[in-house]
Amino acid sequence: MPPISPHEQARDRIAQLRDDINHHNYRYYILDDPEITDSEYDRLLRELQDLEQHYPDLITPDSPTQRVGAAPLESFSEVKHRIPMLSLGNAFNNEEVLDFDRRARERLDVEVIDYAVEPKLDGLAISLRYENGVLVQAGTRGDGTTGEDVTLNVRTIDTIPLRLVGDDYPQVLEVRGEIIMNKAGFEKLNRQRREQGEKEFVNPRNAAAGSLRQLDPRITAARPLSFFSYGVGEVLGGRLEDRHSAIIKQLQGWGLRINPESKVVKGVQGCLDYYQKIQEKRDSLPYEIDGVVFKVDSIAQQERLGFVARAPRWAIARKFPAQEEMTVVEAIDVQVGRTGALTPVARLQPVFVGGVTVSNATLHNQDEIDRLDVRVGDTVIVRRAGDVIPQIVSVVRSRRQGRPRKFKMPTHCPVCGSATERIEGEAKTFCTGGLYCEAQRKEMIKHFASRRALDIEGLGEKLVEQLVDAGLVHDPADLYALNEAQLSGMERMAEKSAQNILAALEKSKQTTLARFIYALGIHNVGETTAQTLAQHFATLEQLMTADEESLQAAPDVGPIVAHSIVTFFAQPHNREVIDKLLAAGLHWPEVEIKSEDALPLKGKTFVLTGTLTQMSRNDAKAALQALGAKVSGSVSKKTDYVVVGENPGSKAVKAEQLGIEILSESELLQRLE
């Protein structure tokens, strides 16, 4: 036997690699049960690519390397469907399904029909022609007899085999199915398009259609498309099973993906139950569906039933209620949330969508309104999917009449009339009348009473809500006007606890300037900033009269914080509440201004770890900061002290490794003295 040449050796190896890769594609895409890792797969593919590069004459169109190859087309050519690609009749309620079943049973003269049932994918119908196991043509449905030849694009879709598996497939096999983009792929694609300033796709169906109708297959290749088969067209030179359910199993055996939710049910009740079950599952499926399909399972029965017009009498689609409908924006209102955030809401002409009547849709914020460019009077597409709140998907620009004004967020709160502010770089607009605004009342008072603010013991969330609902408390100052009778009148309020709350209120009057500033709930002013401000300005009067420039002179106060503070104190209603609080007797010791150099812990960095028993970590942090120390979250060479509480974590270990001084809680307390 003559020795085999390198060319022959390459040919054999290439054949082996292609078989292996096709097998692994089948395990991965069709059976969802891979046998090798992604990196092993990549190695096989790379070896094949290298060999083919050396021996270009050995490249064949069905090689797994040849998914994207061709240059862009000038236009799509036609494909003729010798067996028409049918559409399906629709049923929009159970009666229509019962009618369909009754007619079929009467024609067949049987009691019960077995149905093959499957989800109805919302994608693009496609016909794939395999000749001797090799994909030779892919065509869209078009008008059912003539579609577009999208072979080059379809070849780029991983879940579509270029060559069938096994050897018992018919000589000619036309597979029919749906090309889809799954939900995750769709979201990712739109995110990319948004980032690149490109127009987003409205839904996965449009994205799949847009991706397939590309003259340049490289664009299609970059899109996350996939495929499920659900039937056959022309079949020559081979035998198919005599039931739909068995045929799709055969297709699966030849390497085509079928829907894992497909099954066979008995009679029309089985169909109705299946509809119910899939509807419940709809949101958790990774792809969009718009209903379910019921098909008479027996091919002999299908043939006896035949067709009407362009739809078979042996199948029907039970559609879900539409998730998108058109309607008109009658107004755009602005709601104020509990935190003072303003949210624009579109008031819609009521429309039935996703199974309910929708008359409002959130518009989120000004950016979203600008993105959609939605204006009062516009016709819009509203979407309600599952239990998600209704959204406006897009404006139907062609229906816009006249030149409606662009919507702008109001400059004043629609609830309390205080100025609104939008912080640079943030999406939300806020009301600045925190102390007074009715919308924020409950949250504001809860915050005011909370432990790190005025620390009014016993005044919990439930009680605040009752007091506000009863009309007894409108702002934090009203708390100090409460009497025992009013408090005892609240639910689950014993006489003793009413007295306790009055005592706690009395006690809270003696506070600190820092706590008071924090309690005001000014946007962007947390506990640490409140302490800094108290230290820097020493009196409330000076803080309230400071302008943005002098505010920024305080440590760690930047333009955003300064702006929030000035805006807050500029609201007459906020000032009124502050006056009432002072009149109620709130007071605090004079702040001792420590000159920067006099701060004993200035320049020292502390890290706290583990649980402290005498004080909270926040209190410890605040106390350290008041003495000029920096408190950091992680240990580094720059750390001076690590304070170790109970059950310390890795920070304590790291401190030891770096030779950093470790303090116990009691040592910390000593130093704070």
Which active-site residues does the annotation give?
Answer: 120
Q: Which is nearer to ligand 9MJ, 234 or 469 (CB)?
A: 234
Name residues whose C-beta falls within 8 Å of residue 615's C-beta, 6 or more positions apart in sequence. 623
Would you count residue 118 as binding ligand 9MJ (CB under 6 A)?
Answer: yes
- Please name the residue that has the structure tokens 């003729």: 80
Name residues whose C-beta falls within 8 Å of residue 104's C-beta, 6 or more positions apart in sequence. 113, 296, 305, 313, 314
Would you count residue 88 as binding ligand 9MJ (CB under 6 A)?
Answer: yes
Structure tokens at 327: 């309607």
CA-atom Rg of the chain in angstroms: 35
Question: How far apart are the C-alpha atoms of 106 and 108, rounded to whole Å?
Answer: 5
Q: Which is nearer to ligand 9MJ, 221 or 296 (CB)?
A: 296
Q: How far is the CB of 177 from ligand 9MJ (least distance, A)?
A: 8
Q: How far is the CB of 307 from ligand 9MJ (least distance, A)?
A: 11
Would you count residue 282 as binding ligand 9MJ (CB under 6 A)?
Answer: no
Q: Footprint of ligand 9MJ on residues 297-316 (CB under 6 A)?
A: 315
Question: How far apart are the C-alpha atoms of 628 and 531, rounded to whole Å?
Answer: 11
**Angle, alpha carbons 298-299-302 (nearest 5°):** 90
Q: Which is nearer to ligand 9MJ, 118 or 527 (CB)?
A: 118
Question: How far apart are the C-alpha atoms of 308 and 292, rounded to whole Å?
Answer: 20
Structure tokens at 542: 């000076």
Q: How far is the CB of 400 from ligand 9MJ (least distance, A)?
A: 34
Q: How far is the CB of 156 from ligand 9MJ (least distance, A)?
A: 21
Candidate ranges 65-73, 114-122, 298-306, 359-367; the one touching ligand 9MJ (CB under 6 A): 114-122
CA 430 vs. chain centroid, Å, equals 24
Q: How far is the CB of 251 from ligand 9MJ (least distance, A)?
A: 12
Candidate ranges 14-22, 117-125, 359-367, 507-515; the one touching ligand 9MJ (CB under 6 A): 117-125
Q: How far is the CB of 174 from ligand 9MJ (least distance, A)?
A: 13
Site string for ligand 9MJ, 67-86 (x = CB under 6 A): -------------------x
Query: Counting Cβ atoms within 10 Å, is residue 330 exposed (0-12), middle (13-18) or buried (19+)?
Result: middle
Which of 523, 567, 517, 571 is closest to 547 using CA atoms? 567
Helix (H) or strand (E) holding 186: helix 183-195
Q: Which residues pair with 228 in a beta bridge?
A: 178
Q: Which residues pair with 444 in a beta bridge?
A: none
Q: How far is the CB of 293 from ligand 9MJ (least distance, A)?
A: 4
- Please name the residue that has the structure tokens 């064949």: 60
Q: Report the residue from 52, 148, 178, 378 that binds ligand 9MJ according to the rule CB under 6 A.
A: 178
Q: How far is the CB of 90 from ligand 9MJ (least distance, A)?
A: 11
Helix (H) or strand (E) holding 332: strand 324-336
Contact between 640 and 671 (Cβ < 8 Å): no
Contact between 296 and 103 (Cβ < 8 Å): no
Structure tokens at 625: 């900061």
Q: Report the residue from 48, 117, 121, 660 that binds ligand 9MJ according to the rule CB under 6 A.
A: 121
Question: How far apart are the C-alpha atoms of 514 and 535, rounded to whole Å?
Answer: 8
Q: Is 569 helix (H, G, I), strand (E, B) or coil?
A: helix
Candidate ranges 116-124, 407-415, 476-484, 665-673; the one touching ligand 9MJ (CB under 6 A): 116-124
Half-sphere CA count of 629, side-chain side, radius 13 A: 25
Q: Which is nearer to ligand 9MJ, 15 or 300 (CB)?
A: 300
Q: Which residues pair with 646 in a beta bridge?
A: 611
Structure tokens at 16: 């082996």
Q: Report the residue from 21, 232, 293, 431 that binds ligand 9MJ according to the rule CB under 6 A.
A: 293
Candidate ranges 4-12, 118-126, 417-425, 533-541; the one touching ligand 9MJ (CB under 6 A): 118-126
CA 224 vs. chain centroid, Å, equals 18
Q: Footprint of ligand 9MJ on residues 319-358 (CB under 6 A)?
A: none
Q: How far is the CB of 292 from ligand 9MJ (least distance, A)?
A: 8
Q: Which is nearer to ligand 9MJ, 290 or 421 (CB)?
A: 290
Could you tell me how many residues make up the chain?
673
Q: Which is nearer to ligand 9MJ, 299 or 341 (CB)?
A: 299
Question: How far apart are the C-alpha atoms of 157 and 142, rounded to whole Å?
Answer: 20
Q: How far is the CB of 218 from ligand 9MJ (least distance, A)?
A: 27
Candidate ranges 115-123, 236-244, 276-284, 472-480; the one touching ligand 9MJ (CB under 6 A): 115-123
Contact between 374 and 347 (Cβ < 8 Å): no
Long-range contacts of 363-366 (CB under 8 A, 24+ apart): 363/332, 363/392, 364/427, 365/409, 365/427, 365/428, 365/429, 366/408, 366/409, 366/422, 366/427, 366/429
Q: In the chain, count of helices (H) and strands (E)? A: 24, 24
Other Cβ atoms within 10 Å of 573 Cβ, number: 18
Q: How far is the CB of 301 from ligand 9MJ (least distance, A)?
A: 15
Would you count residue 116 as binding ligand 9MJ (CB under 6 A)?
Answer: no
DSSP letter, residue 404: P
Q: Which is nearer to ligand 9MJ, 186 or 230 (CB)?
A: 230
Q: Report the residue from 81, 120, 129, 257 that binds ligand 9MJ according to the rule CB under 6 A.
A: 120
Number of residues near ligand 9MJ (by CB under 6 A): 10
Helix (H) or strand (E) holding 327: strand 324-336
Candidate ranges 113-121, 347-355, 507-515, 609-617; the one touching ligand 9MJ (CB under 6 A): 113-121
**C-alpha distances out from residue 560 to 127, 410, 566, Å:** 59, 20, 10
Q: Which is nearer to ligand 9MJ, 88 or 212 (CB)?
A: 88
Name residues whose C-beta falls within 8 Å of residue 653's C-beta, 6 or more positions apart in sequence. none
Site string for ligand 9MJ, 215-234 (x = CB under 6 A): ---------------xx---
Question: How far apart are the C-alpha atoms of 429 and 422, rounded to whole Å?
Answer: 4
Check residue 355 and give left, alpha or beta (phi > 0: left; psi -120 to 50: alpha): left
Q: Which is nearer to ligand 9MJ, 315 or 493 (CB)?
A: 315
Q: Which is nearer to ligand 9MJ, 152 or 293 (CB)?
A: 293
Would you count residue 91 as binding ligand 9MJ (CB under 6 A)?
Answer: no
Q: Which is nearer to ligand 9MJ, 287 or 568 (CB)?
A: 287
Q: Which is nearer to ligand 9MJ, 290 or 665 (CB)?
A: 290
Q: How far is the CB of 395 from ligand 9MJ (least distance, A)?
A: 29
Residues of this chain that bind ligand 9MJ (CB under 6 A): 86, 88, 118, 120-121, 178, 230-231, 293, 315
